[in-house]
Structure 1
Amino acid sequence: MGTSIGIIANPASGKDIRRLVSYATVIDNQEKINILKRIVLAAQSFGVGHIFFMPDSFQMGWRVTKELLAEGRLQAECKMLEMTCKDCTHDSTAAAKKMEELGVGCVVVLGGDGTSRAVAKGIRETPILPVSTGTNNVYPMMVEGTVAGMAAAFAAGAASPKEVCCKDKRIELYVNGKLADIALIDAVITMDHCVGARAVWDLGRIREIAVTRCHPASIGFSAIPGSLAMVSPEDDFGYLLQANHSADGVLAPVAAGLLQGFGVGEHGRLMLNQDYEYQRKGTCMAALDGERELLLREEDSLVLRITREGPWRVDVRGTLEKACREGRFRQERLPKI
């Protein structure tokens, strides 16, 4: 009965402390439900017969299912994953792992960079389609829900992810020789000693920034190296920048409506699979895709490595263009041009 997709929607995305220190957009959970409805309706129109939702504290998947059933518009079979929610990023990781085990053809992710990173930690080969509803949105795309649902349907039916996806880079962090965590966009080393509110907003405490991609049109920490150079997702290298807060630097949009100066030290490309050992003094933390995650003590060794082991990310425009060329939008009753 058709193909299947998974949907992971983070109810906490777009609501962190950066709303207090910048002018970021707030996307509430009701709007996320509206986006989810559009994804479901578009996906089922192009052959998706089964949709699996990650359960969450706001019950978004359940509400979407109930409301579309009441409207008489739901054709696909919608199910909530059987899992215990802990209202943290581990929910997204666990849900992604379960969806891949179920064999879904594509996982649609609603959230910011952090949500996409959490999903990437639980998935290996299943394509993901990240839709931006978070704060810093370098990785997820600003794409309308209907378009996302269409692309997810076609991606789920593809013979191979290579037909419709890009294989992304990631930053791997090795502590004392063991893989400790990953980031999809940026890994920032700060002088902090605790997680706190997770989000980093004091640029004076940043020591180094490593990124898989950067561009002056981005928002967030990758915009700092992006003010010096441009690195695309397709480039076989990333970028590394050391802070020198007593030196001249760049003016970059580190948050929505918030442009700040940042003193720049040594900087340059970091090639794929090239190890970079961070030389530090004292305890510090690594913030991954915008949030403090990893505590590093003085005796720990830290190595950063950029690889091409990130997730398969759906190329939305490319997928729909391929579908158009193959006549996937045509109906028998429509006249051929």
Structure 2
Amino acid sequence: MPSSAPLVVLGEVKTCLLPSSTALARAEAGELLALMPGRDVAWRERPSSIAISPTTAVGVDCNVLMDHVAAQPDPVRVVGTVATRVVLAGGRILQSSAHTRIVRGEDHRRRPWSHYVSRKGVAEEIQLVAPDRPAVSAAMVAGYHGASARADVEDVLDLDSISRRLLGKIRSDPRLDQSPPVQGGTTRLRWTAVVGGSAGPDVQLHLDDETVRSVRVIVRKESDLDAVQRFCEDLAAHDWLLTVVGDALDQADHFGTVSADRLDILEPLVQHFSGLWMPGAHTPAALRALWRDLQADPGFTRQWTTLRDRLRDNISVATLHALRHKDVGMEW
């Protein structure tokens, strides 16, 4: 039998605002996220609500990129499934999440599809790779995060497309009125996880561009890998909040200090987002310490506090201006 210990776990989380004018309660979230008949949507109410859909599987037969400077730079062929699910945090923040564990195949030959379908979220390599497990794992991590630089390789594992299709399916659901209170974009968080023993737990976060983030996680033992997906979803949700609020403040700065256009941008942020900031609240205990590192550097909550204070100060200035003029109907 192939070893159950993965060489690496590869994952992707896409995050956006639910296209709905109101936050969804438990019953509504359960209907929206019921991807599989007969399977309940997981729900947690405290300290903030979170709904998680049943896990579905997508079959894959493709290449996994290796670091081009590694001892074995050629892609590795894998066959198996990608596990996917949808998360709704605070009734507002919508996420599609996909991941797969890359494990060594038994004899490097293709098995019947029934074998792979029975192992949700596991993909087996079906060609011989170097026996040095740490080196292979490191090469796969580097290859995955550097995928955009390897346009020469075809048929590559594409978690981006898988998660994007799932997100599009939920966003276009006819039960949603497509009238969100805030206009915000979609962020993409790519993550990898390996078992590092005494080297873990550890997290490295890199902002690749305005919307793409790369996260590398090291855990102490294999059983901790189950918690990495939830940690990365939690991280992606809070990174999205920072991104959307920061972008909105930049947009508002194009208007006058007390203009109505400026307030139209900023007021909904305070109304709908201020209660969503709870880093680590839904991260499993095994990896909650990673939030302590992120709070120190880059300082997630310090960033949020700064943005929140800017929001409130901007609205306060506009309100004082209106009171002084005693004419709330005037054009600002």
TM-score of the aligned structures, taking structure 2 as reference length:
0.26
Give the structure with the larger strand fraction: 1
TM-score of the aligned structures, taking structure 1 as reference length:
0.26
Give the structure with the larger helix fraction: 2
